[in-house]
Amino acid sequence: MAASIYGDASTQEKRLLEEAMARDAGLRREYEALSGLREAIPVNQPELKFDLAPLVRNRLASSPATARGRRVALALATVACVVVLAALGFVRSDKHASPVVHVASTVGATGSSPLGAAIEKADALVKQGDLATAYQSLQDCLAANADDVKAGDAQLRVADLAYDLKRYPEALAATTALMTRYHDYVKQTPERERHVIARRDLLAEAESVQFASLYALDTARKDRTDPFGKLESIIVGNKDSLVAEEAALDMGKLLLAEAESGKDANAKSPRLTAMTLARDRCTDPIAVALLEIKIGEIYQNDLRDFSSAEEHFKRAAENPVYAKRATAALMVLAEERKR
């Protein structure tokens, strides 16, 4: 948890933490509270002027007995780490970080918001296909109205537009600003939070290679001769990465129409049929293993068929590249079966 808060967690560690927080709302609240504390501590004035011990004791006292044992050591260790680092003046600054801004909910906002009109204008430009103008105009208005009631909504649109325009460094900066300045807005719905976290993690991973992996993925998507083969090459060339997962999902999208009309179509989940077709067309064992994991996730999360999910995760575990990922998926599945 501490590594994730300070940006040192690996992709696998982030994934395992997200899976754990998805199962345990209390753990997610602790993570968010600690993240907010880390963001609120000034780098130049690191003195901590309040005692966290009562908060921790109250939190632990209110936790269910079954959850307490799993989280006590983690919560206390993380809080202790933050307190000690703050006292030493060693709290590191995030190169993408911005001051925290608490923005009111956009629900029920009035027409007096300057950003409200800017958002409407930007949406109209997007419908016309003018993403660049929409992006620039909304970004300019947001810079002048960062505390507006619609600022979180605008920041999300700016981040998504930058991504759609393939301006990946700008997209990462905008997404990071969204999570740090407008985290209350991000957390308003689970779907929004998942989208923002997934996008941030994808961009952060690609940043380590100057976004070359995302540019290669864009090229594969646009290929007119063999897009499926190019996507498989992305998976093999970017083993066990978030970019590889994007390529796997794109494979399913390519075959979705065939999946919906084919004789083997699954009425409950055309996506399952599409991903199965994609797996069967893959020629590289690494790509096959990743598709097995994605199929297992559909069985687990969409169809709640845990036996089938387990079967596919076990197949993926036979591949050395995805063995650790598949084993982690089996562990999560086993915990979910107990509930």
| pLDDT by residue, tens only, the chain of 339 residues | 677 766 667 666 776 777 666 656 556 666 666 666 665 554 444 444 445 555 544 545 444 444 444 444 444 445 444 444 444 443 344 444 444 443 433 434 445 789 999 999 999 999 999 999 999 999 999 999 999 999 999 999 999 999 999 999 999 999 999 999 999 999 999 999 999 999 999 999 999 999 999 999 999 999 999 999 999 999 999 999 999 999 999 999 999 988 877 666 566 789 999 999 999 999 999 999 999 999 999 999 999 999 999 999 999 999 999 999 999 999 999 999 998
CA-wise closest residue to 178 among 198, 161, 149, 157: 157
Domain 114-207 sits in CATH 1.25.40.10: yes
Predicted pLDDT at 86: 44
Residue pair 186/152 in contact (Cβ under 8 Å)? The answer is yes
Among the four given CATH numbers 3.30.70, 1.10.287, 1.25.40, 3.40.50, the one describing domain 212-338 = 1.25.40
Predicted pLDDT at 88: 42
Residue carrying the six token digits 């754990």: 20
User: Which residues, at least 6 apart from 170, have a Cβ–Cβ distance to it below 8 Å?
Assistant: 162
User: Which residues, at least 6 apart from 275, have a Cβ–Cβ distance to it below 8 Å?
Assistant: 248, 251, 252, 291, 294, 295, 298
Residue pair 294/275 in contact (Cβ under 8 Å)? The answer is yes
Predicted pLDDT at 49: 45
Predicted pLDDT at 261: 74
Considering the chain, tell me which residue range(s) the CATH 1.25.40.10 domain(s) occupy: 114-207
Predicted pLDDT at 189: 96
CA-wise closest residue to 137 among 162, 151, 119, 150: 119
Helices (H), the chain: 2-5, 11-23, 25-40, 53-62, 65-88, 114-127, 131-144, 151-164, 168-181, 183-186, 190-207, 212-222, 227-237, 242-254, 256-261, 270-281, 285-297, 306-317, 323-338
User: In the structure encoding, which two tokens stand for residue 40, read together?
Assistant: 């609120």
Predicted pLDDT at 106: 41
User: Which residues, at least 6 apart from 53, have a Cβ–Cβ distance to it below 8 Å?
Assistant: none
pTM of the entire predicted model: 0.67
